[in-house]
Chains A and B, each alone.
Chain A
């Protein structure tokens, strides 16, 4: 994986990595069904790899590994007339992990 150093632009010290997980249902113990990750240490989007499994099996597993949950999508009831319409994935969890610039 390419890890081009990114200047900290006057904000030295801590860098925020983000991990988005989508869960099978609204329990944090439920299985991860989709995921995305963002790392400011990378120049641009991550390489187009072909992963065989999510980085963590559940959101709880990510929490145990030091990720901090900063947002969990609300439960929104379906609009009348659209009870069976599907669209974006529900049960979205946003996690962060901060680390010192010198770590990597």
Chain B
């Protein structure tokens, strides 16, 4: 995943970060810019194609991203009574936990920091955290829901990371996700009437996997049919910088990206084209390219020619 980013030709610093670094809001922005540059130069930022995948599906999966030694340490820490309940809502993420404790170590791993910086920028705001512990033999899962509430932002989003420190076989449940559902306007558990979707995605994955979610993704915890407790650490982050061109330098207009953005999910039915339009709108914001289009889905709607072939007085 990082080879592509590393191979990309270096591009100018995004204008908004440069402006921030040059003046208000001051030293904090300069520090953020330095952090973003370091991740860029080390090849840890997401590529434009990965960002397109996130815009289209609302989820990116990184199997076994975290090494086994850290996974083991995390599991043992929880078993020993450890709690991730540090920080408070709205705090700067950098100060939400004691330095050197497990959560900041996880988030500071270059590959994790690169994901975060690519999507919500460096030094995001801490929203909330949850350590989900599903007991062995709890067969009943949750209803489908989206977290928080209706969120009509079109040019910004929050990020949610799900970290699974142990192997997650099918019988252990995990989280069920609905790829592509993130741009739908629903309130929390108002979607409980649905039980199954064609194309739903169970998080069956190896230890150390991180799933990266748009805040609007529809999801639910599944039951746990094993004799072992299931762990999942989730954290929500808010952007503190404009989410424009935060990904690795690279071409954001390409046939491949058009293909990613226009590929619909099987559960969307006739509404697939509406989702494509909403994705293009988001892509325009994230790339800073208000003219971007894919297969003319926006160009058709925006075609309102003003030039006349007749004089203003009308046809002769």
Which A positions have Cβ atoms within 8 angstroms of B? Answer: 20, 22-26, 30-37, 44-48, 50-51, 53-54, 84-91
Q: Which residue of the partner chain A has the closest CB to B200? A: A34
Taking a contact as CB atoms under 8 Å apart, the answer to whether A86 and B196 are in contact is: no
Within 8 A of A (CB), among B11-48: none
User: Which has the most chain B C-beta neighbours within 10 Å: A26, A31, A33, A36?
Assistant: A33
Taking a contact as CB atoms under 8 Å apart, the answer to whether A25 and B278 are in contact is: no
- Give chain A's interface secondary structure class: loop
Interface stretch (choices B96-104, B182-190, B207-215): B182-190
Residue B63 interfacial (CB < 8 Å) = no
- Contact A24 B202, CB 8 Å, known A47-B223, A89-B194: no
Bound CA–CA A35/B195 (angstroms) = 6
CB neighbours (8 Å) of B140 from chain A are 44-45, 47-48
Taking a contact as CB atoms under 8 Å apart, the answer to whether A51 and B141 are in contact is: no
CB neighbours (8 Å) of A25 from chain B are 269-270
Residue B292 interfacial (CB < 8 Å) = no
Bound CA–CA A33/B266 (angstroms) = 7
CB neighbours (8 Å) of A32 from chain B are 198
CB neighbours (8 Å) of A20 from chain B are 193
CB neighbours (8 Å) of A51 from chain B are 196
CB neighbours (8 Å) of A85 from chain B are 185, 274
Taking a contact as CB atoms under 8 Å apart, the answer to whether A34 and B274 are in contact is: no
User: Which has the most chain B C-beta neighbours within 10 Å: A36, A51, A84?
Assistant: A84
Query: How many of B's residues come within 8 Å of A, CB to CB?
Result: 30
CB neighbours (8 Å) of A26 from chain B are 270
0/1 string, B273-296, CB within 8 A of A gives 1: 011011000000000000000000
CB neighbours (8 Å) of B222 from chain A are 48, 50
Residue B233 interfacial (CB < 8 Å) = no
- A81 vs chain B, min Cβ distance (A): 12
Bound CA–CA A22/B266 (angstroms) = 12
Residue B173 interfacial (CB < 8 Å) = yes
Bound CA–CA A22/B264 (angstroms) = 17
CB neighbours (8 Å) of A37 from chain B are 195
Bound CA–CA A88/B222 (angstroms) = 21
Q: Which residue of the partner chain A has the closest CB to B267? A: A33
- Contact A33 B197, CB 8 Å, known A48-B173, A48-B223: yes
Taking a contact as CB atoms under 8 Å apart, the answer to whether B191 and A86 are in contact is: no
Q: Which residue of the partner chain B has the closest CB to A27? A: B270
Q: List 15 A-B contacts (CB under 8 A).
A: A25-B269, A31-B269, A33-B197, A33-B266, A33-B267, A34-B195, A35-B196, A45-B140, A46-B195, A48-B173, A48-B222, A48-B223, A50-B202, A50-B222, A90-B269
Taking a contact as CB atoms under 8 Å apart, the answer to whether B278 and A33 are in contact is: no
Taking a contact as CB atoms under 8 Å apart, the answer to whether A84 and B223 are in contact is: no
Taking a contact as CB atoms under 8 Å apart, the answer to whether A87 and B184 are in contact is: yes
Taking a contact as CB atoms under 8 Å apart, the answer to whether B278 and A86 are in contact is: yes
Taking a contact as CB atoms under 8 Å apart, the answer to whether B198 and A33 are in contact is: yes
Bound CA–CA A66/B87 (angstroms) = 56
- A73 vs chain B, min Cβ distance (A): 12
CB neighbours (8 Å) of B275 from chain A are 86
CB neighbours (8 Å) of B190 from chain A are 88
- Contact A86 B193, CB 8 Å, known A33-B266, A48-B141: no
Bound CA–CA A76/B221 (angstroms) = 32
0/1 string, B167-190, CB within 8 A of A gives 1: 000100100000000011110001
